[in-house]
Structure 1
Amino acid sequence: MGRIKKKRAQRDARRQPGAGPMAPPPFPQDEVERIWRAWDRAVDTGLMASGAETKYHFTPDGKVLSVAVGKSGQVLANGERLTPSVAERLRTQMPLLAGMVTFYENNQLAGRGLDGAPEDSVIPLPPPAAPDPMPPLDKKALAAAQAATAALVRQGKVSEPVGAMVIPAQRGGVLFAVGGRDGELYVNGHALTQQWADELRAKVPDLSSDVDRLQAIRAEWLDVPPEDRTLALADGCTDPNCHTPH
């Protein structure tokens, strides 16, 4: 199943620019064996095929991200489907590998699987860069989205207009997303159907990737029975340009 080659001491004792050789970190044997067991369960339950290509990425602090493509074509991470909630959890648990999690999440949205992924290795990532400046919040667009959401509250589709994920665009416009009492995900006052998602991409093209991610969240929600999800997005955005709760 693409077991990791245990090239411990010789694994990427890389040089940083202007620095001396970096000693290889201890091999995270216990964590790797835990992930092997997770992959065995994924094979046993039919989530992935035995012998599927499995990639491993490590950080010097002993965290491990292992990815593969399941039988359905969905990207799997550490033995689980890479759903939006799993991706957010992994970014929180492995901040040095957050960029890699997002890379595979974007690959999944684009149907590229593991294409373009780096080789198995210890990844000495540079210190995280400061977030981009917060774009100005388009107050007119926000007011319109809030009014549309208030209409959903009056219709009984949303419990209350709080807990929204509010994402401003650099060139004007905003996404105002909230979960509904019926388990639906509403953005700017409309259920996030494919047609509405396409209209939003046309209106705020620089937020197209955010629309993609909201669609993935909606698809995950629709896999389970409907429930009141009004507050479900309140802690669901790790983007520094995301205003939440609102």
Structure 2
Amino acid sequence: MKKQRAERDARRQPGVRPAVAPPFPQAEMERVLRAWDRAVDTGLMEDGAEAKYHLTPDGKVLSVAVGKSGQVLAKGERLTPSVAERLRREMPLLAGIVTFYENNQLAGRGLDGESEDGVMPLLPTGAPDPMPPLDEKALADAQAATAVLVRQGKVSEPVGSMVIPAQRGVLFAVGGRDGELYVNGRALTRRWAEDLRAQVPDLASDVDRLQAMRAEWLDGAPEDRTLALAGGCTDLNCRTPH
């Protein structure tokens, strides 16, 4: 009785409104369910596989599952770097969860560890992390190494390059004419990726993301990737001249 009276009194106060659940995004859910049906029909996932759903008050839905080969699927697609970037643009309130599942996929953890299904609260927008001071020497070294690639004809003038700074060190990534991904003047092979993680440990997750991007590029036909990185970094601290 006291609870009912308190709720009634709150409704009478000007400017005080009881919390109202957002409308269920029925049409979007139906689209997602059809996407999962297509994933089953094309052999990406087992029929009846468990899927998780994250909803936002503005009607966006992120649904994830684990495919037959262990890869993470999002809304019926493989969670490749390009799909993850698109989902972060389309669902900014769920960008952090998209990144969580992307990192889980790299670590082979599937869907483990993320919050339960449900509606995500609207959080106040925070300011970006302060930009770390740019290591001018590291940047100059990376630019000089990339200039060698330009002279060799492997890279166009480095338009569309992605520059990610750390307190000490930098990642200077650029797409090659041959479809390769070069970072700090070298193709991002597994050995070079390991060296970069050791040299710039603060940017290890960025190396992981670039490595996944390179793998996606190499899965397709070779093409000129000169502008492939333009606008491809969603980190607010990322410097991407193009």
Fold conserved between structures, TM > 0.5: yes
Task: Quote the offset at 1:125 in angstroms.
Answer: 3.6
Q: Structure 1: which 5+ residue stretches go unaligned?
A: 1-18
Aligned-pair CA distance for 1:111? 0.8
Given that 2:175 and 2:227 are in contact with CA atoms closer than 8 Å, whether structure 1 keeps it comes out as yes
Rounded Cα–Cα distance in structure 1 between residues aligned with 2:47 and 2:30: 17
Structural mapping, 1:29-178, within 5 Å: 29-169=26-166, 171-178=167-174
Q: How far did residue 106 of structure 1 move? A: 1.1
Q: Per the alignment, in what secondary structure is the counterpart of residue 48 of structure 2? A: coil
User: Do residues 230 (structure 1) and 215 (structure 2) align?
Assistant: no
Write the distance in 2 (CA, Å) between the matches of 1:136 and 1:69.
Answer: 40
Match of 1:220 among 197, 216, 219: 216
Whole-Å separation in 1 of the counterparts to 2:33 and 2:137: 52
Question: Post-superposition shift, 1:128?
Answer: 2.5
Residue by residue over 1:11-63, the C-alpha shift from the partner in whole angstroms, topping out at 9 and shown as x without a partner, is xxxxxxxx864211111000000010000000000011111110000000000
C-alpha distance in 2, partners of 1:209/1:20?
Answer: 43
The 10-residue stretch of structure 1 (155-164 or 190-199) with the greater mean CA deviation from structure 2:
155-164
Query: Structure 2: which amino acid aligns with 1:88?
Result: E
- Percentage of pairs with the same residue: 81
* Aligned partner of residue 68 in structure 1, secondary structure: strand
For the residue of structure 2 that corresponds to 1:55, the secondary structure is strand
Matched position secondary structure for 2:215: helix
CA-to-partner distance for each residue in 1:180-212, whole Å, 9 max, x for gaps?
011000000000000000000010001000000
SS of 1:222's equivalent in the other structure is helix
Question: Aligned match of 1:187 in 175, 183, 186?
Answer: 183
Instruction: State the superposition RMSD in angstroms.
Output: 1.1
Tell me the amino acid that sits aligned with residue 34 of structure 2: R
The answer to which structure has the higher helix fraction is: 2
Structure 1 counterpart SS, 2:219: coil
3-state SS of 1:237 partner: coil
**Could you list the runs of 5+ residues in structure 2 that have no partner in the other structure?**
1-15
SS in 2 for 1:137: coil
Q: Are 1:205 and 2:220 counterparts?
A: no
Counterpart CA distance in 2 for 1:29 and 1:123 is: 16
Q: Contact 2:104 / 2:110 at 8 angstroms: preserved in 1?
A: yes
Q: Residue 244 of structure 1 aligns with which residue?
A: 240
Structure with larger Rg: 2
- Which shows bigger deviation, 20-29 or 60-69? 20-29
Measured against aligned partners, the alpha-carbon deviations of 1:111-152 in whole angstroms (never above 9, x if no partner) come to 110001211101104112211100111111101100100100
TM-score, reference length from structure 1? 0.90
